[in-house]
Amino acid sequence: MQWLLQEFEDTHKLAEALDRLKISYTWHKVVPFVGDLIPEPVVNDPDAIVMFGSYVLWRYARDKKLNPGVFKLRPFIHETAWHPFLLNGSDAFFVSLSDIPNNLTDDGQDWFFRPVDDSKEVAGGVNSALEIIKLAEKVLSLDKAEIPNGSLRHDTQLMLTKPVRILKEWRLWAVGGKIVTYSLYKEGFRVVYRHEIDDDALAFAQHLVDINPDYSPAYVLDICRTAEGLKMLETNCINAAGFYAADLMKLASKIDELSEI
């Protein structure tokens, strides 16, 4: 597999793992709003290229027909196999950003909201109804042509759910149908990065992967423990998700092996 890396703190950590595995890679900058790479990579085999960095890399991979390039995901909320396990999945409602001012009431309610698509337009989080309305109004005040790629747009589809108290949150990396590494990243309200996971949480995550085998060859899965048990939070693009305290040697090795399948 030929590895193309965009320079970030996390990709430097990945590069260290690739060095130890004796896997070669090249560094590239992304031209803002255009998506070209500097320097332009010399592609040995377009069917054995993987890219890590910002989510916008998927456009370059698509335009150059690189495979796997970036593992772009279907919206996890549309995956029926996972519906019984989603955190607040049954209470979620969906709305385009343009409809927020007319469909959300400033009643003091807090909401967890995020884009339906794995687009990184805004990070998922808890905000008051008023904060969400103000954000929508700010975006709607802009002409559509003024909004850069990768930002919230008038037609961005959003998911809103009522917040739930979460005890622990883990990120897991699924490659080739198996969980290959994991990291604790939140304990209560504290952000903590430790390479550890409860046994039942690891088994739960593998079950989620098993029941949806055609989702993607590689992706990130976030799960949590609540008072009601283990729940699925979301999926993320493996090429652009933070590594936290993952075992990058295992992750890089398994991704590199995908070129042999």
Evaluate whether 57 touches 51 at the Cβ level (below 8 Å). Answer: yes
Confidence of residue 90 (pLDDT cuts 50, 70, 90): low
Cross-strand bridge partners of residue 160: 93, 113
Global pTM?
0.83
- The DSSP secondary structure of 46-73, one letter per residue, reads TTSEEEES-TTHHHHHHHTT-SEES---
148-188 pLDDT per residue, tens: 777 888 988 888 888 788 999 999 999 999 999 999 999 99
Domain boundaries along the sequence of the chain: 2-69, 92-161, 164-260
pLDDT at residue 109 is higher than 70: yes
pLDDT at residue 123 is higher than 80: no
Q: Which residue, among 119, 232, 250, 114, has the nearest Cα to 173 in the 3D structure?
A: 250
pLDDT at residue 126 is higher than 70: yes
pLDDT of 119 reads: 62
Enter the CATH code of domain 164-260.
Answer: 3.30.470.20
Higher pLDDT, 106 or 119: 106
pLDDT at residue 60 is higher than 90: yes
- The Cα–Cα gap between 82 and 179 comes to 16
